[in-house]
Amino acid sequence: MRRVPKSVVPLIFALAVVFNTHSGFAQSLPAKKEASEWVRKAQEASDLRSPDTPPYHLVAKIYYAVGDKSLEGTYEILWAAPDKYRLELRMGDTDETDLVLGDKKYVARNTPTMTLPMFSVTSILFFSTSLSGIQSPDSVRKLSWAGDTANRQICAVVGESIAFDHELCFDAKTKQVTATHTRAKPRTASVWVADGAISMDLTDYVSLGNMRYPQRLVRRAGFESVDATVEKWEAVQKFSDDVFVPLPNSAVWDWCSTPKIEISKSDRPNFPLHSMNVGVYKVVRADGTVKEATLLFGSPTGPAKELLDMQRHGRSAIHVCGTKPVEYETVFEMWSTSRSVQ
């Protein structure tokens, strides 16, 4: 029997360790059902508007760009309860504060309408991260390993959407979410993501009590991009007395945290079949007719004008608080990846 030279033994041992380590990783991926629970918990922990969320204060530095214009500023959330919070955007010449108190929303801004930065930043940081876009946490399609040995992660591709692919990565030891990546699928049937226009990356997750939230949020959609870095996120025992006082010279809207949204199939608008980059501010009456429609971004002629006319003369969703339909403001966006499209 031939002897193995002593000089070769360490190499054989090292190769055996590497092989067994990677084999262990390959054999230790969780069942999709278990990964679905991780996804569900990540969704619940990242919901900054949950009724169970204790008071907090969040401040983020924002870099915003649309077309050839770029702006920097700050976004602030002061949260006490689902019907008691304050949102503030300070960016370039834009200054807006939204204050929710009970069944009223007070809006003070130095612009004629809500701006694209206010709408987009609020949508991403407060109302909806890509985690909330996962309709079914149980729809885990694929699991894989990521990272090195010291930072081993398990990544899950989640969702049954025809428009998006969601990938969530979890720490292999703690099972806590560490990153989320969303990509729009190319050539989908959804007009809002024509040509795979949207991507979103949430990284640098940290925990605050039972909450877990990314400290870096980057979304790109056609001509628009939002890059947010959370600089402060802390629990608050008591806010100062002047934080939740109705704002002077503000517009007052009837409001509720979870309105019932009603729209019949016959009222759904048909959008022009063109790739375009456009943003439209709308005020919608209680009956779903449009009171005001203002072009915030896009060409005032051609397909964008056609869409603006449709938004102005078509019907929109009705928001119902309790049994009362309410007037509301919103922004409609459509983005294309084609830089030649205006």
pLDDT digits (tens, 9 = 90+) for 106-150: 999 999 999 999 999 999 999 876 676 777 777 888 999 998 888
Q: Tell me, what's the pLDDT at 62?
A: 98
253 conformational bin, left if phi > 0, alpha if psi -120 to 50, beta if neither: beta
Q: Tell me, what's the pLDDT at 165?
A: 83
Instruction: Tell me the residue type at 176.
Output: Q
Return the CATH fold of 40-138+174-256.
outer membrane lipoprotein receptor (LolB), chain A (2.50.20)
Among candidate residues 59, 60, 58, 51, the one with its CA nearest the CA of residue 84: 51
CA angle (97 as vertex; 293, 216 as ends), nearest 5? 95
Place of tokens 């939002």: 226
**1: pLDDT strictly greater than 60:** no
Q: Tell me, what's the pLDDT at 141?
A: 87
Q: 152 with 25: CB under 8 angstroms? A: yes
**What's the pTM?**
0.85
DSSP states along 58-75? EEEEEEEEETTEEEEEEE
**69: pLDDT strictly greater than 70:** yes
Average pLDDT in the 305-316 region?
88
**192: pLDDT strictly greater than 60:** no
